[in-house]
């Protein structure tokens, strides 16, 4: 069983010893006198008697020690976990402050599947880190600034009503429909009308100078996009709030200062009029060094400058000692250069960790990226598709459901399925968006977990009056009960692992094996028809704790657990 469980108090972030028999990989036969693991292991055994916890010890192979814990010890741990609101998972006393940058949609643009992944993964990491005791500050680094706004605002000012006429709300709602039309119309004008393009460029200058009418128009677009983003967040059920939306525009007033400091310290140098940071090991295809441009030769600032200002703010003002960025893997080089620049400038001291948590691409069933083939796939369409499939699955299982309840459950199942499919693949890999597979009741799906949870609740509801889940510690356990009990004990260690590796798929894999171990237990060990009251109560406790663990675990993934299916 995992060593890191305590009823209360702190679980250390690093476990010194794990009570698992793993081979000593560095051992090579005949390496040294001390390198006689079988004899050493035998001596360890001589000094460890069996007691209440250890039922049996045995040397095996080249120095493994197999430890068998007693049934009583397993039952005791289960009882303690079941009695604790945190299921016996401690929190980290040395927790720090993490700023996590995720979701990051762009104003006046449709969100795409890349933003979906960032939102889902970021949300799960926030939940896991917070559960370990970390102070987490969410930053939705929205793309709400840049030259494209000149074009949009100029068009809007010249055609104040045109966009309202005949606006049919599209699938992502009236706001996005309006903004999509605005984007297309102004882009077309910008590309075909040189005078308009000039006016649009002047508009950017006015925006940066804080010209009232221009800023008001920009704000209107931000607000309109917000309506759409919030609809997506509400549909997904994520933690992001308005206060977390600190977009690129927030850092705009700091950019001149960032550049001046970089130039003064010599971290950045002028090259063909632009202010650049060079790196020895980063070269373009032609072998020439590729710099990070922090100020363009026309005086404009870019994406990188904003990220540098954000680092200064997050470390200096927010007191972060860990910075996480949940962004598409294709931006790896950008973050490598930004972090290195910030280190050189002293804004990212050695005791602050900065990590780009990249992720792979979402593919269609044809194996092609969902974002790249022609028209971007609308996020809301993908979510609707999953909810539709879920509705069919739920209606089949529960034909008696009233339509409102069916809708509610279809949403939990469909959205849960999308999240689980995203989180259960290792973060950096691409995956195929296949709504049918996602909502399958058998397999590695969120739906399977939700179904397992609901089945457990149904058994608990059927328990006879006066029979309460209790671990009777003198009972002998069946192998399937032991296996389930030992797995339940791994929950705390799994969460710790997720928080250390930033890999939610480890929690998915754990929950999936837990549901599978429960199924085996349920097949071999009758609960409501158990041979005695003690056995029934003990098995009910196993059911209850499995349910609690599934619910808590899925909650950390942001996935709902309907009580009935």
Q: Which residues bind ligand ARG (CB under 6 A)?
A: 101, 104, 106, 141, 143, 307, 325, 327
CA 548/CA 81 separation, integer angstroms:
10
CA 276/CA 266 separation, integer angstroms:
10
Considering the complex, what minimum distance in angstroms separates the CB of residue 103 from ligand ARG? Answer: 9
| Residue placing its CB nearer to ligand ARG in the complex, 141 or 203 | 141
Quote helix, strand, coil % in the chain, to nearest 5: 50, 10, 40
Considering the complex, what minimum distance in angstroms separates the CB of residue 149 from ligand ARG? Answer: 14
| Residue placing its CB nearer to ligand ARG in the complex, 330 or 429 | 330
| Residue placing its CB nearer to ligand ARG in the complex, 104 or 148 | 104
| Residue placing its CB nearer to ligand ARG in the complex, 331 or 519 | 331
Considering the complex, what minimum distance in angstroms separates the CB of residue 349 from ligand ARG? Answer: 19
Residue 64 backbone dihedrals phi, psi, to 5 degrees: -75, 150
Considering the complex, what minimum distance in angstroms separates the CB of residue 123 from ligand ARG? Answer: 15
Cβ pair 101, 139 in contact under 8 A: yes
| Residue placing its CB nearer to ligand ARG in the complex, 380 or 493 | 380
In 459-532, at which residue ranges do the beta strands (DSSP E only) sit? none
| Residue placing its CB nearer to ligand ARG in the complex, 233 or 510 | 233
In 228-314, at which residue ranges do the beta strands (DSSP E only) sit? 269-271, 274-277, 292-295
Give the HSE-up count for residue 121: Cα atoms under 13 Å, Cβ half-sphere. Answer: 35
CA 9/CA 419 separation, integer angstroms:
32
Considering the complex, what minimum distance in angstroms separates the CB of residue 307 from ligand ARG? Answer: 5
Considering the complex, what minimum distance in angstroms separates the CB of residue 334 from ligand ARG? Answer: 7
| Residue placing its CB nearer to ligand ARG in the complex, 115 or 391 | 115
Considering the complex, what minimum distance in angstroms separates the CB of residue 482 from ligand ARG? Answer: 47
CA 152/CA 200 separation, integer angstroms:
8
Considering the complex, what minimum distance in angstroms separates the CB of residue 520 from ligand ARG? Answer: 44
CA 129/CA 132 separation, integer angstroms:
5
| Residue placing its CB nearer to ligand ARG in the complex, 163 or 338 | 338
Compute, in degrees rounded to 10, the torsion defined by CA atoms 548, 553, 559, 564: -20
Tell which phi-psi region holds residue 52, choosing left (phi > 0), alpha (psi between -120 and 50) or beta.
alpha
Q: CB under 8 Å to 340, separation ≥6 — which residues?
A: 277, 279
The residues that bridge with 292 in the sheet, in sequence order, are 277
């Amino acid at each position: 069983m995992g060593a890191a469980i305590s009823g209360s108090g702190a679980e250390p972030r690093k476990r010194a010893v794990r009570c698992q028999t793993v081979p000593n990989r560095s051992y090579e036969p005949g390496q040294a006198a001390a390198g006689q693991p079988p004899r050493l292991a035998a001596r360890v055994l001589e000094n460890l008697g069996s007691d209440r916890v250890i039922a049996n010890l045995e040397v095996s192979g080249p120095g493994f020690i197999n430890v068998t814990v007693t049934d009583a010890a397993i039952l005791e741990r289960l009882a303690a976990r079941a009695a604790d609101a945190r299921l016996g998972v401690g929190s980290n006393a040395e927790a720090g402050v993490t700023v996590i940058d995720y979701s990051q949609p762009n104003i006046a643009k449709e969100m795409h599947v890349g933003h979906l992944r960032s939102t889902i993964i970021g949300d799960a990491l926030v939940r896991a880190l917070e559960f370990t005791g970390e102070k987490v500050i969410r930053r939705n680094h929205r793309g709400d600034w840049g030259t494209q706004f000149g074009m949009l605002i100029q068009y809007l000012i010249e055609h104040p009503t045109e966009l309202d006429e005949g606006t049919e709300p599209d699938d992502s709602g009236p706001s996005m429909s309006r903004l999509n039309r605005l984007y297309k119309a102004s882009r077309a004008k910008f590309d075909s009308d040189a005078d308009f393009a000039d006016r649009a460029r002047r508009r950017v200058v006015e925006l940066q100078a804080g010209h009232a009418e221009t800023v008001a128009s920009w704000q209107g677009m931000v607000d309109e996009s917000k309506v759409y983003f919030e609809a997506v967040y509400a549909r997904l059920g994520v933690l992001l709030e308005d206060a977390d939306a600190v977009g690129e525009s927030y850092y705009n007033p700091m950019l001149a200062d960032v550049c001046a400091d970089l130039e003064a310290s010599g971290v950045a140098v002028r090259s063909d009029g632009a202010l650049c940071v060079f790196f020895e090991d980063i070269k373009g295809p032609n072998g020439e060094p590729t710099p990070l441009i922090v100020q363009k030769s026309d005086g404009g600032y870019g994406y990188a400058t904003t990220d540098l200002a954000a680092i200064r703010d997050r470390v200096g003002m927010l007191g972060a000692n860990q910075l996480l960025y949940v962004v598409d893997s294709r931006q790896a080089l950008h973050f490598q250069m930004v972090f290195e620049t910030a280190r050189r400038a002293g804004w990212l001291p050695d005791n602050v960790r900065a990590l780009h948590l990249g992720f792979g691409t979402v593919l269609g069933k044809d194996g092609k990226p969902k974002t790249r083939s022609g028209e971007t796939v609308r996020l809301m369409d993908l979510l609707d598709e999953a909810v539709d499939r879920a509705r069919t699955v739920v209606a089949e299982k529960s034909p008696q459901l009233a339509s409102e309840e069916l809708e509610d459950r279809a949403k939990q199942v469909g959205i849960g399925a999308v999240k689980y499919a995203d989180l259960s693949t290792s973060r950096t890999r691409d995956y195929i968006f296949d709504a049918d597979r996602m909502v399958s009741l058998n397999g590695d799906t969120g739906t399977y977990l939700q179904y397992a949870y609901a089945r457990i609740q149904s058994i608990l509801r059927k328990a006879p009056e006066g029979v309460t889940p209790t671990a009777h510690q003198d009972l002998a356990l069946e192998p399937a009960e032991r296996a389930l009990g030992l797995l339940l004990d791994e929950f705390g260690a799994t969460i710790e692992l997720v928080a250390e590796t930033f890999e939610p798929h480890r929690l998915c894999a754990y929950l999936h094996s837990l549901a599978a171990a429960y199924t085996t237990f349920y097949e071999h060990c009758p609960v409501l028809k158990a041979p005695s009251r003690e056995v029934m109560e003990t098995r009910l406790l196993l059911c209850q704790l499995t349910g609690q663990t599934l619910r808590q675990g899925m909650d950390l993934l942001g996935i709902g657990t309907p009580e009935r299916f």
